[in-house]
Amino acid sequence: MKIGEYKSMMKWLTRPGTPKEIEKKIIQNVKTTPIKFDPTPIVPMPTEIYDPLAKEQQRFNNLLKEIEAKKTRNKTLGLAGLLGGVKDA
């Protein structure tokens, strides 16, 4: 590469308006504002929202399951279990 070619290449690479020049201008024009930071800890939100109706529904469903379990146990316990359980009409 000749010296003249090198100089012309360097002129072309360092010409005004290259991305580096534009970046420098943009960075100089950007105005920053201070950020207000509050170091107090944030209270975590509860993961489950209290719903009394849902709790009552769950209790009711558990009660139904217990009743069904008692009925099944009574049908298949003792003599009724040996005879094949009581048939529902």
User: Can you give the pLDDT of all 89 residues of the chain as single tens digits?
Assistant: 677 887 777 777 776 665 666 666 666 666 677 788 777 778 777 777 778 888 899 999 999 999 999 988 888 887 766 776 555 54
Radius of gyration in angstroms for the set of CA atoms belonging to the chain, rounded to a whole number:
41
Please report the pLDDT score of residue 70 as a whole number. 92
CA distance 32 to 47: 38
Residues whose CB is less than 8 angstroms from the CB of residue 76 and which lie 6 or more positions away in sequence, other chains included = 85
Neighbours of 45 (CB within 10 A): 6
CA distance 66 to 60: 10
- Domain regions of the chain by residue span: 1-28
What is the reported pTM? Answer: 0.38
Please report the pLDDT score of residue 89 as a whole number. 44
Please report the pLDDT score of residue 57 as a whole number. 93
